[in-house]
Amino acid sequence: MKKNRGQLRTQRVKNLNPSLVALASAAFFLGGCEVPDDHLKGSSALTEYVGSDSCGTCHATQYQSWLTSHHAMSMQPATSESVLGNFDEAAFSHGGIETLFRKIDGRYIVQTKAAEGTYKEFTIAYTFGVDPLQQYLIELDDGRYQAFDIAWDIRRKRWFHLSPVLEHRSASSGIETVPKGVHWASRGFNWNRQCADCHSTNVQVGLAKGGYETTFDAHNVACEACHGAGLPHTNDTSKPYADVACAPCHSRRSQIAEGFQPTNQLLDYYVPAPTIGPLYFDDGQIRDEVYVYGSFLQSRMHMAGVTCSDCHAPHSARLQSSGNALCLRCHNENPPNNFQDALGNFDTPHHHMHAVTPIECVDCHMPKRTYMQIDDRHDHSLRVPRPDLSIKYGTPNACSNCHDEGDEWAMQQIIQYHGSRRRSHFSETLLSGSRQHLDAERDLAELANDPGQPPMARANALLLLGGYELGYSAEAVTNSLKDPQPLVRLHALRSVDRVDQNKRHGALKRLLEDPIKAIRTDAARIAVEHLSDFTEPSERALLLSVLEEYKAIQTQQSDLPEAHTNLAAISIALGQFDAAEKQLRNALAIEPEWIPGLVNLADLYRRVGRDSEAGDILEKAIAIKPPIVEAQIAYGMWLIRSGRPGDALNQFQRGYELEPDGLRNSYLYALALNANDRREQAIGVAELAVDRFGDHRILLELLATMYRDAESFDEALRYATRLEERFGGEVYRTLRAQMLLAVRKRDGPS
């Protein structure tokens, strides 16, 4: 029996209707495989479709391994076999909301508070996961499926809420879950957009008027999700796709297209998030729930050619070996030829520094962090613990997960066993750059252009270079725009404004024709801001053509407020202000408390002469919890334009208090203090900023000006001299000469 792929697509499961799973089962996954008729009966209760069983006829070992994997059981129709939680009139209370779990006529029911505030009964349609917790999908009337925020703890046999609990934990093992107070019916818990693509096979989100018409080929992760379509299938059981098959689901990323196949270029479909704040700590260690791939891209092991399947069995997701034996396959005195850097004797007290207590390699080199309250995940950046960097920058280190003696003690222990010299690591450069210290610019530029460093680390350096203005960053970005590594080119685009106009124009024209979708469409997004540079009809036609591709990505995601906000930015660049207002209103209709939409709408009103209307919008933005600095600053700017500098000072002070480590926040707060005749306090804030961030031009100019106005000419001369030494130019030479003259005039003839 053989069916082609086109026939299979017509029988895809629609709207998650369990009754249709059987309809799809007879067709799914049969493309390209000869399957005995008796095999169509299926051989496992774990799947309701025959497709995976058909693969099992030829690949029995892999199939049996897959049957016991989390992938095979990640999403199942809610039945007595799949539901593991207690639905026997079980009650659970959290935040003043009472929830009851019950079973009625074979259906699993949750009675709880709906989004509108009334108590209702909801039917569980699907289970989600098996270990260490199981969540449940609730079907709503508009085609939405929502992941309920109360989950079942498999190991402790109890219900628990996914919101974070208040308890002390070390920085590297703290709990990270959904923000407290977010309702389970909100878009953050939406299965169609947030979950389905990684938990089912060949998902098409399917937007309908006022809802979704989501379709998929299998309700869980089946063979074709990793091996591609069945029609061109061969018996090749090698791993031709390396990590690319794993990356879409084992990463924090954005999606720019549907229909990914493991033979595809990843960046034609997904864009991994950069491994810097706020999702990661500033040195690249995991912070929020970021999964694995981004971390692994930073590792020396990835650079050496190690792939996911070197450590994990791809069909069961189990480790290839247990305990330290996994690492010691390569890290020994006779390592594989291509991993000679792993040479050494590592499973000894001299190396791991623990003479008595049993310890595993992962405890130090892959520390855990807890998500969803009970789900421990290992950091896959595979780095050496650096308590010395914790002392300097406040970043976590693996030692503190077990030891309470402090970072200084941990650093001395490492020095005692391994000496004071540490191998250079890009994290030191990223940490300095994330603090926006002026002297980090050269190091960031060198990291960005070093092909021996992980492309993800180089890409992060390019993002951090956007805040600098010396020649190092311009040269690094210019070179990186031509780099053979796609991630490097993509992130160089984000800092393209650092490049000279002529070079920038040439680079944008070239990247508009980049073969990789993520790069050329982002080039279009940025190039439209420089539309006046595209004077030739052919190059303008190219830009507008790729811009349509970018807009199509946003339209495909029109259920998200981000998409409408992005479209509004394009409309503003094109001077289409009425369209931009409508797009921003669309974003706010989806999420009324979408702060980027509110701030951008207020700024649009400023552009079109409706600034008086912007105040009410920004007042709403600053009232939203948790507060976001951009809203405070935008409102502060509006208050200044409205002639209310005293009220503006309050907003800039609030922004400074929220993020005191931000250069911009320090500068604006000092500027506002000075404008409100609080010069002494302003000087204190600005000088503290210079200590933190170095001799940035805006800080030195502000200090020189404030000291000059206070007739403190010696201090003004000091800062004017630093300006001339750092940045040169006639303006600063003149300023220094004026301050020198003022000092001499004050002191009189010697």
Mean pLDDT, the chain cut into blocks of 10 residues (750 residues total): 28 30 24 30 33 66 69 83 94 93 95 92 93 93 93 95 56 44 87 92 88 89 79 52 83 93 89 94 94 94 90 86 91 83 86 86 94 92 95 94 93 92 92 93 96 96 89 92 96 92 93 97 96 93 96 95 97 97 97 95 97 96 93 97 96 95 95 96 97 94 96 94 92 92 84
| 668 domain-assigned | yes
Position 74 in a domain: no
Cα angle at 225 between 222 and 229, to 5 degrees?
105
In a domain, 548, yes or no: yes
654 and 668 inside one domain:
no
Same domain, 590 and 653: yes
Q: For residue 595, which of 554, 630, 558, 636 has the smallest C-alpha distance?
A: 630
Instruction: Give the CATH number of the domain where residue 592 resides.
Output: 1.25.40.10
The verdict on residue 600 lying in a domain is: yes
Domain shared by 600 and 651, yes or no: yes
- List of residues 6+ apart from 460 with CB closer than 8 A: 274, 275, 276, 284, 430, 491
Asked if 598 and 650 sit in the same domain, the reply is yes
Could you tell me if 666 and 739 lie in one domain?
yes
Retrieve residue 456's tokens: 């993800």
Choosing from 633, 659, 685, the residue where a domain stops is 659
**Does residue 592 share a domain with residue 545?**
no
For residue 428 the two structure tokens come to 């030191």
Q: Tell me if residue 152 falls in helix, strand or coil.
A: strand
Contact (Cβ atoms closer than 8 angstroms) between residue 342 and residue 306 = no
Contact indicator for 703, 683 with CB cutoff of 8 Å: yes
The answer to whether residues 492 and 510 belong to one domain is: no
CA-CA distance, 507 to 510, in Å (whole number)? 5
Domain limit, last residue, from 478, 499, 520? 499
Same domain, 684 and 744: yes
What's the pTM value of the predicted model, to 2 decimals?
0.87
The whole-number pLDDT of residue 262 equals 82
Query: What secondary structure does DSSP assign to 390-418, as a single string?
Result: HHHH----GGGGT--S-HHHHHHHHHHHH
> Are β-strands 175-176 and 368-371 bridged in parallel, bridged antiparallel, or unpaired?
parallel
The answer to whether position 680 is within a domain reads yes
Decide if 722 is inside a domain.
yes
> By 3-state DSSP, what share of the chain in percent is helix, strand and coil, each rounded to 5?
50, 10, 40
Same domain, 683 and 740: yes
Domain boundary among 659, 690, 710: 659
The CATH number linked to 727 is: 1.25.40
Instruction: Report yes or no on 532 lying in a domain.
Output: yes
Q: What is the extent of the structural domain holding 699?
A: 660-750
- CB of 565 closer than 8 Å to CB of 597: yes
Do residues 511 and 479 both lie within one domain?
no
Residue 639: which residues within 8 A CB-CB, separation 6 or more?
Answer: 645, 647, 648, 651
Collapsing DSSP states into helix, strand and coil, what is residue 346?
coil
pLDDT at 61: 72
| Domains in the chain, number | 4
Which helix H or strand E contains 109, and what residues bound it? Answer: strand 107-113
Interaxial angle between packed helices 426-434 and 440-448, expressed in degrees from 0 to 180 and rounded to the nearest 10:
130
Q: Yes or no: say if 316 and 310 are a contact pair by the CB < 8 Å rule.
A: no
Asked if residues 485 and 455 have their Cβ atoms less than 8 Å apart, the reply is: yes
Claim to verify: residue 473 and residue 435 sit in the same structural domain: yes
Cα atoms found within 13 Å of the Cα of residue 735, Cβ hemisphere only: 26
Q: What is the pLDDT of residue 54?
A: 63
- In a shared domain, residues 604 and 615: yes
On whether residue 411 sits in a domain, the answer given is: no
Sequence-ordered list of residues with C-beta below 8 angstroms from that of 682, at least 6 positions apart, any chain: 670, 671, 673, 674, 702, 706
